[in-house]
Structures are given as C-alpha cells and as structure tokens.
C-alpha cells in the first residue's frame, strides 16, 4: 500500500549513496521521479514525489512542509534532494531523471543543477498549459480536467511519465532534430544541467568577466549565429556543439546548430574525403569528378530544403536569417557561396577541424589535387578560416595568412 503520510525524517537519515549503487558497483535498477506543484494546505504546504520505473508506478511520497521550509529556496531544495537521495539509498535503485514543473523550479532556483551535481539525476523542466474543459471537447479531451485541477499525486505521476518518454536506449536523452534540421540541444533546453553560477565556479574571475563582456555585447546587438555540421553524434574524433550551445543559452546568446540530413552513400564519400585531407588514405585513392558532384548536389539539396526556406538561417538577415555563419566541415563549404549570394555582407567563418599538413597540398597534379581544389575553391567565399593546426603546418594555399586565425586544440563535447 502506498504511504501518503508525512515521511519521518528521523527514520530515513541522510547518507551518501552506498557502494552497491555507485559507479563501481553492480548495475542497479533504474527509476525516474516526478514532482508536483507546491500548494498551500492550511497553515503549511504540500508537494508530492512519484517514483516509477519504465513500466510501473512504484511509490508516492507526500511531503508536508512548514512555512519556513516552503518559503526558503535553499531548504526546499535540500528537502527534495534529501528525499530522492534517501529513497535511492534505501531501495538501492538509481534515479536517472526527474520531471519538474516549471513553476516549481522558479520557486526553487538551483534545484536542477544540484540534482545533476549531487545525485547524477538529469532534471527535465516541463511546461504545462492551463486549459478548461469545453462542451465541444471529444475523446480524451472530454475527460481532461486540466493541470490545476489534478490532485498532486496525478501531477507528479504525469511529470514522471513525461520524463521517462524523454529517455532512450542506454538511459540517455533522445537526440532530437527540429525544423530546418536544427539540433534541439538538451531536448530544447528542457534538461537543465547547469546555471550561470555553476559555470562561474569553474574558471578564474578574469575569465568569467571576459565571457560576460562578450555575452553582453552579443545580446545587446541581438546577434544570431548558426553552426553547420555533418552530424550531431559525438565521437572521439568528431567535435560537437552541445556544450557551446548550452553555455550560450545560459548567457542569453542565441546560437543555433544545424546538421545536414544524412544519406547512406554520401557518408562513405565524406569519410573518403576526410581521410584524403588528413593523409590517412592510400596515396592512390582520389576523389573522382562524379563523387565531387554527388557531394555538391547533396549539400545544395540540404540548403534548398531546410536552410533557404522562409526564415531559414541562410536567408538574408532582413528576411530572418542569422547574422554569422560558421561552417565546421570541409564538405559543407559550398554553403559559404550560398550565404554570400543571399547576403553578401554577412560574415562566414570556416572552423577547420582537420589535422592536415602543408606538404599535402603542394602537388597540383597528385591524387589529392581534386580534394584540395574543392576546399580551395569553396574557401574563396569564407571571410575567416579558424584552424587548430599550428601556423607553420597549415597549408598556405587555402587562404591568405591575414584571413587565418588559430585556436588551441579543444573538444566541445
């Protein structure tokens, strides 16, 4: 029977997670949590926590809070964390995610980042819309009573079920692609892993002041930047944009990340092109004229279908396009020409991630010539090339040195 009574704190002392459910122990059962609204009940306040696994409802904790706890965000945050931590320790189960109403998170700032930091729980902040039943409703809508009229246990259960739906194989959050092939980082920022204060604690005051200055300048000028990549699947040798977009969102800066729609045959051609540029392929291998045309057709098809539509990122700035275009893959360099055709004054950056050497581009008649000519020709419409390759190793034939910038090798994962 589910105990809906007030939990006794003295019966469940706060304690660290035991070895049985630590990373080094055996694999525990995985569960999810849902939290209801915080509502006033007489002289106190009530909030409900529901625990579920991927199939069944498991438990319901009804917390009765005093006036002081409910009005103090720090104590309220610690109360929720303690309940989840104690439940996990008592039943030796691992909490994967927690669904939280947006209104509750606003009353308890810092809860999401602490759930992630202390308990390794992915917090999902979920919105709900108030809706009154009408006489014209049919089907399920005819029996829907609205969020505000739901009992607290139903609210919490709804949050838990919505949270479970957001996770896939391996208990990781589903990767989502939105309109125009926009990467929905953290499910459209519903997963709140860190706040500004968490980022600030990781760097020196001077570094944080510089980051804030740049962010304020971008926000003031309402700058929108778009990053274009081949894939959003993280690999050891493929750089991602999740962390950068997440940090920009925390700072109020609008960064968008787009990926091209994959095509099975094109994948092999792209890998072949990458291997040739990095010198990893057989010296007799080369990119044929037909293969180059296939890559160009694929890039133009993606641009036409997704990025040159109404309010697309490559449209002119006066028609809803972005202010800065950043390309981080050599096969996508044809986008630079399309961007300039739409808006000649818009800056286009190419962030090269390949570790090639200057002697690879010296032979104009060698088997690598067609690939290097592809990069050299499409780079003419790029304003700045940013490269992690040291200056004395970077090919000088791509862009004049005054249009080349250098950054340290770093991975944005």
Contact 368, 332 (CB under 8 A): no
| 188-218 exposure pattern, b = at least 16 Cβ within 10 A, e = fewer | eebbbbbebebbeeeeeeeeeeebeeebeeb
pLDDT higher than threshold 90 for residue 20: no
Nearest-angstrom CA–CA distance, 87 and 93: 8
Q: What is each CA distance from 392 to 18, 283, 358, in whole angstroms? A: 53, 23, 8
Q: Which residue has the tokens 């279908």?
A: 305
Angle at the Cα of 236 (from 233 to 237), degrees rounded to 5?
A: 90
pLDDT in tens, 276-303: 877 775 655 678 889 999 999 999 999 9
pTM: 0.84
Mean pLDDT lowest among 103-117, 123-137, 214-228: 123-137
List CB contacts of 183: < 8 A, sequence separation 6 or more: 175, 176, 177, 232, 241, 245, 257, 258, 259
Neighbours of 276 (CB within 10 A): 23
Report the candidate in 189, 183, 186 with the shortest Cα–Cα distance to residue 227: 183
pLDDT in tens, 123-154: 999 987 666 656 565 655 555 566 777 889 99
State mean pLDDT over 335-351.
Answer: 95
pLDDT in tens, 226-270: 999 988 876 655 677 888 999 999 999 999 999 999 888 898 888
pLDDT in tens, 158-204: 999 999 999 988 888 888 898 899 999 999 999 999 999 999 999 99
Q: Which residue has the tokens 């081949």?
A: 230
Q: What is each CA distance from 229 to 171, 200, 244, 405, in whole angstroms? A: 25, 28, 14, 20
Predicted pLDDT at 2: 44
For residue 365, what pLDDT band results from cuts at 50, 70 and 90?
A: low
Predicted pLDDT at 234: 64
pLDDT in tens, 22-74: 556 555 689 999 999 998 887 788 999 999 998 899 999 999 988 888 888 89
Predicted pLDDT at 344: 95
């Amino acid at each position: 029977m589910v105990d809906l009574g007030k939990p006794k704190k003295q019966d469940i002392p706060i304690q660290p997670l035991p070895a049985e459910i630590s990373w080094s122990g055996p694999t525990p059962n995985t569960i999810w949590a849902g939290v209801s609204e915080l509502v006033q009940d007489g002289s106190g306040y009530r909030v409900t926590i529901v625990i579920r696994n991927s199939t069944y409802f498991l438990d319901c904790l009804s917390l009765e809070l005093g006036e002081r706890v409910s009005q103090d965000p720090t104590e309220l945050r610690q109360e929720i964390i303690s309940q989840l931590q104690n439940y996990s320790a008592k039943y030796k189960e691992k909490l994967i995610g927690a669904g939280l109403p947006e209104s509750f998170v606003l009353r308890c700032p810092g809860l999401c980042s602490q759930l992630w930091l202390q308990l390794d729980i992915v917090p999902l902040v979920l919105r709900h819309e108030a809706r009154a039943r009408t006489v014209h409703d049919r089907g399920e809508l005819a029996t829907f009573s609205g969020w505000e009229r739901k009992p607290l246990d139903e609210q919490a259960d709804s949050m838990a079920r919505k949270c479970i739906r957001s996770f896939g194989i391996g208990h990781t959050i589903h990767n989502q692609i939105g309109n125009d092939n926009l990467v929905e980082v953290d499910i459209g920022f519903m997963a709140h892993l860190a706040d500004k204060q968490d980022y600030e604690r990781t760097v020196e005051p001077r570094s944080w002041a510089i980051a804030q200055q740049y962010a304020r300048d971008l926000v003031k000028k309402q700058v929108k930047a778009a990053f274009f990549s081949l894939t959003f699947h993280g690999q050891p040798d493929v750089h991602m944009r999740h962390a950068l977009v997440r940090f920009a969102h925390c700072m109020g800066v609008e960064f968008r990340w787009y990926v091209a729609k994959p095509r099975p045959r094109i994948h092999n051609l792209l890998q072949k092109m990458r291997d040739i540029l990095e010198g990893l392929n057989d010296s007799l291998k080369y990119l044929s004229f037909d293969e180059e045309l296939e890559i160009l057709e694929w890039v133009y098809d993606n641009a036409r279908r997704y990025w040159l539509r109404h309010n697309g990122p490559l449209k002119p700035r006066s028609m809803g396009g972005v202010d800065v275009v950043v390309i981080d893959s050599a096969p996508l360099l044809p986008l630079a020409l399309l961007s300039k055709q739409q808006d000649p004054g818009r800056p286009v950056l190419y962030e090269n991630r390949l570790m090639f050497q200057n002697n690879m581009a010296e032979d104009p008649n060698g088997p690598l010539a067609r690939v290097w000519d592809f990069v050299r020709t499409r780079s003419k419409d790029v304003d700045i090339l940013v490269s992690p390759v040291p200056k004395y190793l970077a090919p000088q034939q791509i862009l004049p040195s005054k249009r080349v910038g250098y950054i340290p090798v770093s991975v944005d994962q």
